[in-house]
Amino acid sequence: MRNLAWEWAVFLGQLLPLCLPLLAMANNRPLPRPVRRQRRAAHDKGLPDDDELRSLARVFLTKSRATWPELVVAGVFPEPTDEVVTTYVENFKRRHRGGPVGQIDLRPFTTRDLLLAANYPRFSDSKSQAKSITDQVSLAIDFGKSRNCVVHWELLFADYACSASSGRRQGFESLLKMIASKPPQMDFVLIDDFARGSRNEYESWKLAGLCKTSDIRLMGVSDGFHLDDPDWDLKVRLFNLFHEMEAKYRRQRVLRGQLSTANSKAAIGRLPLGYTRKHQVNAHGNVIYKPNGVARTERWIDPEASVWVKEIFELFIVKKLSTYKIAKEFSRRGVDGCDYWSDVMIDKLLINPAYIGLFILNRKSEVYDWTLGKKVWKKNPWQKWKQYYDPDLALVPKAWHVEARKRLEKPRNAPGKTKRRQPQRLASTLFSGTLFCGSCGTELTLHRSTPKYKHLGCKHGLFERKGCKLTCSKSARAIESALLGVIAKDVLTEERIADLVVRANQHLAELRAKPRQDLRPMQRSCAKLRQKIDTLLGRLAGTLSEALVTEYEAAIEKLQQEFKLAAEALHLAQRANEPPPAELDLERVKGYLSDLRALLNQEIPAAAVAIRALTGPISITQKPYAHRLRRSGRVRGSPLHSVVWKPALCCVAAGPAAGS
């Protein structure tokens, strides 16, 4: 046995030098790129998957049943069966997305002198364990038991993997919305510690202020914070001060460490498409580790993703395709697991200097804008940039990159071209903010917005991304004519028009009966202010003293503000004093409504709001139909090629007009 063991030891000793190159090759292989995550809807941020919610519901019911056995008898906390857990999960998702809080039967609590409490658990990092939420909920239930208050499921809000320093937290916003409504059934708001609520100064003051205004007791389970202290406002200030200092110094340390390693091949931050990480190895092929035990990584070319980058440059430079067509093709193919490519994404990729081997750090920095009252990104001067150039990491020739920048930096908008406006803020068409895609649920926006020709379409369907089937765009004139025809036929009936005319005439009679306001005092006030301003301007022209000039300018500015307010008030009073129009005639109104589209287009924003309130959201879907092309009496081509697929718009209305 000893001889056999010795022979095996000698054999392994001879085999080890042969295996070292293989181990070094394995260490030099690029690491897999992180999977691209799908962009989530804003109302789903902070919402985990259903399995995590089911686990939370089971832990909540189990812990509550053990803590409050008398409420189990009253039926408040049922047995955590699959059906009950599924119902709890759906209720949580509805509240998280901003839905109303369900009705709570208060009799089991009032008869036992128990109070109700809301709970908000949270954890920041996506790499942390979701078990932190269940632990915080369990501690809140035990804390509520000591305060004679019950944490109810309908009052439970949470955010999974959401930082409290920046960004939107849907669960926290839903909690603030519920507190602002001043629910009578809630007496406490329990959080694990005040930092769980927010690390942002504005949000922390908003949480504390809303609870104080609504007479709701905000209490920290672990840190002992509560609004009952007379110095609660001082504690909020101290919390905000310490959190802001900690965040500021942490950002400085991170930036200092990044800038110190910027002049190396080390991988910093999120790498662009086409690159991945690789373990750094020494001369013997061994992986180099940091003092904390984590392996050091460096930038490396990804063999799969680099092909897509080269294809984008080839399509844009060699084949002269537009970024819109490239994005549409990549969305159709689902490149990099992404089906929502856009021309903006392609633009940013083409002008990225990393693809010629030049990596730039510290281009922008986040600063606080005191005029706007929020943090904004500011471009740093080029002297502060940290650059690292490695021609071995270049993916495309430098000439391609220069040509792409030249083409993309050309002005695209003609001098007289109109800019796109937000449909919900200022409507550009009669149905802006009313039409939604029936495939992906996105609002239809303008894709061609010249003054004469306007086309509406889905921003995802035109790029064929996110699986959207509405790939066409339709003339706004055609859509408005079709939908207004339905409204004129089904909504504006003869009886309704006659009733509208009667009510309008009654309103006009009431306006005529109102006494007119005497405008002479307001006119005299404006005239006096104007005279004072002219007098001071005359004196200002004849003085040479700098002190008098400053005083005159300050006085003139103050008088001009007063004159502006008085003139606006006079203008509004003059409009209110204008005589109302004559009584409406039924036949004349019918003549106006005969061309409903031209009538409503006279005031598009106001008409769009009225139509939206009347019809509610309208879903647009695309359905193909076949039509044979005929020329000279014959059908051209085979049956397959003789079919032209034309989009037919099918409207499904949901709202007040749907049932009328």
Q: What is the pLDDT of residue 425?
A: 54
59 pLDDT band, cuts 50/70/90, is: very high
168 and 73 in a single domain? The answer is yes
218 located within any domain: yes
The answer as to whether 24 is a domain residue is: no
Q: Report pLDDT for 32.
A: 81
Q: Could you tell me if residue 426 is inside a domain? A: no
Higher per-residue confidence, 63 vs 552: 63
- Average pLDDT for 66-90: 93
Q: Residues 285-292: what's their mean pLDDT?
A: 84
Contact between residue 585 and residue 409 where contact means Cβ atoms under 8 Å apart: no
The whole-number pLDDT of residue 114 equals: 92
Q: How many Cα neighbours within 13 Å face the side chain of 328?
A: 12
pLDDT band at 471 (very low <50, low <70, confident <90, very high): confident
Are both 224 and 312 inside the same structural domain?
Answer: no
Per residue in 169-225, pLDDT (tens digit) is 888 989 998 888 877 778 899 998 887 877 777 788 888 888 888 889 999 998 888
Q: Is the pLDDT of residue 106 over 80?
A: yes
Q: What is the pLDDT of residue 13?
A: 55
Contact present, 51 and 160 (Cβ < 8 Å): no
578 Cβ contact list (under 8 Å, min separation 6): none
Same-domain pairing of 68 and 216: yes
Q: Are residues 579 and 604 in the same domain?
A: no
* Residue 347 located in a structural domain: yes
Q: Choose among 95, 228, 252, 222: nearest CA to 159.
A: 95
**What pLDDT shows up at residue 6?**
54
Predicted local distance difference test score (pLDDT) of residue 652? 35
Q: What is the pLDDT of residue 51?
A: 92
| 475 and 499 part of one domain | no
Give the tens place of pLDDT for each residue, 89-102: 999 999 998 888 88
How many separate domains does the chain show? 4
If pLDDT is split at 50, 70 and 90, which confidence band does 395 have? very high
What local confidence, expressed as pLDDT, does residue 494 receive? 84
Residues 465 and 318 in one domain: no
Q: What is the pLDDT of residue 84?
A: 94
pLDDT surpasses 90 at 153:
yes
Q: Is the pLDDT reported for residue 657 higher than 50?
A: no
Tell me: do 601 and 509 sit in the same domain: no
CATH number at residue 289: 3.90.1750
Per-residue model confidence (pLDDT) at position 11 = 52
Q: What pLDDT, on a 0 to 100 scale, did the predictor assign at position 166?
A: 63
**Separation CA 451–CA 236 (nearest Å):** 53
pTM of this prediction? Answer: 0.61
Q: CA-to-CA distance for 403 and 396, rounded, in angstroms? A: 12
Residue 58 lies in a domain: yes
Q: In terms of residues, how long is the chain?
A: 660
Considering 96-110, 136-150, 639-653, the range whose residues carry the highest mean pLDDT is 136-150
In the prediction, which pLDDT does 65 show? 94
397 shares a domain with 537: no
The mean of the pLDDT values for the chain is 81
Task: Over range 474-497, report the average pLDDT.
Answer: 83
- Asked if residue 486 and residue 340 are part of one domain, the reply reads no
Q: What is the pLDDT of residues 542-561, one digit of tens each?
A: 776 777 777 878 888 888 88
pLDDT in tens, 338-394: 888 888 899 999 999 999 999 988 888 888 777 776 778 888 998 888 888 999 999
What pLDDT does residue 138 have? 93
What span, in angstroms and rounded, lies between the C-alpha atoms of 162 and 170? 9
Q: Give residue 314's domain range.
A: 275-408
Residue 450 lies in a domain: yes
Single residue among 539, 565, 593 that ends a domain in this structure: 593
Does the residue 424 lie in any domain?
no
Q: Are 619 and 632 in contact (CB under 8 A)?
A: no
Residue 642: what pLDDT? 27
Angle, CA 241 vertex, CA 240 and CA 246 arms, to 5°: 100
Name the residue with higher pLDDT: 260 or 13.
Answer: 260
Q: What pLDDT is recorded for position 276?
A: 92
312 vs 206: which has the higher pLDDT: 312
Task: Indicate whether 72 and 169 sit together in one domain.
Answer: yes
**pLDDT-based confidence at residue 414 (cuts at 50, 70, 90):** very low
What pLDDT is attached to residue 85? Answer: 94
Tell me the C-alpha distance between 30 and 14, whole Å. Answer: 29
pLDDT at 424: 46
Does 118 reside within a domain? Answer: yes
C-alpha count within 13 angstroms, C-beta hemisphere, residue 190: 28
In this structure, the answer to whether residues 213 and 94 fall within a common structural domain is yes
pLDDT at residue 627 in the model? 52
Per-residue 3-state assignment (H helix, E strand, C coil) for 310-349: HHHHHHHHHCCCCHHHHHHHHHHHCHHHCCCCCHHHHHHH
pLDDT of residue 1: 47
List pLDDT tens digits, range 247-283: 888 888 888 888 888 777 788 888 899 999 988 888 8
The yes-or-no verdict on residue 407 having pLDDT over 60 is: yes
Does the pLDDT of residue 660 top 70, yes or no? Answer: no
- Please give the pLDDT value at position 151: 94
Banded pLDDT at 7 (limits 50, 70, 90): low
Domain end marker among 574, 593, 612: 593
Q: What is the pLDDT of residue 653?
A: 35
Judged against a pLDDT cut of 90, whether residue 167 lies above it is answered with no
* Lowest model confidence (mean pLDDT) among 5-14, 413-422, 462-471, 542-551: 413-422
Looking at 10-24, 317-331, 434-448, 479-493, which range is the least confident one? 10-24
What kind and span of H or E run contains 56? helix 50-67
Residue 154, H or E segment: strand 149-156
Nearest-angstrom CA–CA distance, 299 and 349: 17
Specify the pLDDT at position 22.
44
Question: Does 202 lie in the same domain as 64?
Answer: yes
- Provide the CATH number for the domain around residue 218: 3.40.50.1390
**What does the pLDDT look like over 622-655, one tens digit per residue?**
876 555 444 443 333 333 222 222 333 333 333 3
